[in-house]
Every structure is written in C-alpha cells, then in structure tokens.
Amino acid sequence: MNKNAIAAALTTLIFTALPALASAADANVNVQIVDALQKRYGAHPGHRANHAKGVVAEGSFTPAADAPMLTRSPIYAGAAVPVTVRFSDASGLPDVHDAAPDANPHGLAIKLHLPNGTDSDIVVNSLKFFPVATPEDFRDLHLAAAASTPGTPKPTPLETFLKAHPSVAKAVGTLGTPASFADEEYYGIDAFVFTNKDGKKQAFRYVIAPAKVVHLPKEEAAKKPANYLFDELPQRLAKGPVTFHIKAQLAAPGDQTRDPTQPWPADRKIVDLGTLTITKTLADSDAQQKKLLFIPGRLTDGIEPSDDPLIPARDGAYAVSFGRRSATP
C-alpha cells in the first residue's frame, strides 16, 4: 500500500470512529483547509499542517470540588486523571522561530486519560477570540496569505481579505509573545455546553490560566534564540511542576455561541474547574507527537459541542492532517 493509500485509510478510520464529524460538503472544506495551510507554509512530511512545531509533556488533572455542579462529565467526577499535553507554535513551519509572528498564537492541547480507557481532549490557544467565523473564511485567509508573496501587486489578496474581515486584526491584537509556554494564558475560542446530573445545560468557553502571564517586549523577544520556549520548558520542569487552572467562562442567557470572533463580555462569570499539573517533557517527544491526534470534539457525556461551525471543521481538518503525516515513515 502506498503512502497516499495509507493516509486515506487512516483518515477514513478516524472519520468512522468519531460520530458524524462532517457531511460530504463539510469534509471537502476540511481537506481544502489543510491544502490551504500547506500551500501557505509548504508540505513538511511527518508534521502537522498547522502548529507543526511542538513538544509533548505529561502530568495530571485534579478537578475542583464544585465542578460536578456544572457537568456530569467523568473528567470532573473527583479523582485525578493522567494527562498528555502538547505545547506548540502556530504555522506549518517545523523550524519557525518561537518569537516570530508566524509562531503566534501558541497552542496547548490536553488529552485526559479517563479510568474507563477512553480519552477526552481540550484544544486551546493564546488568541482571546478567533480571527474568522467560518471554516471557509479560515481556508480563504490562508489562501490569501499564500498568494501575497513579495512583489504581489497592491492591494494584495491578503490586504483585500483583511479589509473585508476586520475581526482578523482585532484577534491578532490580543496576542503577546510569552516568556515561557508556562507563562501564557490559553483560550477555548469555541463554545461548548455542559450538562449536569439534573439535566441543566450551560454554555461555556475554556480558559487555561497559568500562575502568572509574562509577555516579552518586542525588542527582548527579537533577541531570543529560535527555540527558547522549547529549551526553557524542560529546564523549568526539572525544578518542579508547572501548574495551570482549567476554568470555564460561563455564557449568560442570550449570549451567542455560533461566532467565535465575538467574545462574551468580560464580566461573565469564570469558574475554576480544577488544576492541571505538568511534571515532565517526554524524551521521545518528536516520535510521540506524530502519533497523537487532539481534536476539540472528542468529548465525554456531560459535555457537547455548541452550534459553532468551527468545531466540526477543526475535528475534520485535524483528522485530514493526521492522515497525511501518518503516511510518512
């Protein structure tokens, strides 16, 4: 079986195993998103189409005592569960400089290993809200960037796209350059819905909060080595665990959940769901991250997707990307 056939088989398996990820039309857009990313950044065999540069670590999650009031999910039932996490730079460039504009937003993916042998994922990044509202716009953003090379006549396709989508500049304006993966706050740009044991539903967005947020001034960031985030994390963990609090920003009645470019007001209640403790990076991180697939829609009972169209699109595009990189020895 050749590489393309293996990739196709893996992607088919993923789509079959996960309930109704996408319609045929949606699946086509998911492929187009990955194609657009690879057109912009190039195809790098064995690497993700986006967030290609990453590091895998391990630890545990301990839920807060009050979390079961919001959800009947087994994640928050009371016992600590082991986790596998991946920190990453944005873009499809496996050698991107950690402080480069293309490296933002930085990402954090969390795979919670439940006692029944199943996993559930949380996939967040450092954008406070998303640049575009639909999968088609995300595809077109990267196609416009790919077509806007030096010397392209003005206005470039990217300039035209940005003018028509002011949400992109607003979202990018929320970013900073972190001093450490451990000193960044990460946001779930998509809304999900909790259901508790009484059947009460509550829309929410994740916030993964560090002990402190530390962003570097532009001049200082420019002087950092290309891999400073990846070098610093194991050094920090050698001195002790890194902790985050997994929180949920709760929607108020009437707050929309479909458009991830529109954040909820800052006065919406934020509740603590528990503590994420990271203890070590993996010595074989490069090999392990190739095998790992994190998708926002891998959920448990007590958590369900909202009507945000980016959730199934992310699930589908990540699966397509996984199939392609898995076909590389």
- Give the active site residues: 51
Distance between CA atoms of residues 130 and 172, nearest Å: 9
**Phi/psi of residue 28, each to 5°?**
-65, -40
3-state helix, strand, coil in the chain (%, to 5): 35, 20, 45
The rounded distance, in Å, linking the Cα atoms of 127 and 171 is 6
| Measured distance between the N- and C-terminal CA atoms of the chain, rounded to whole angstroms | 13
Comparing CA positions, the residue from 251, 301, 245, 279 lying closest to residue 66 is 245
Residue from 321, 277, 271, 257 nearest 295 by CA:
321
Rounded Cα distance, 94 and 183, in Å: 22
What's 291's DSSP letter? H
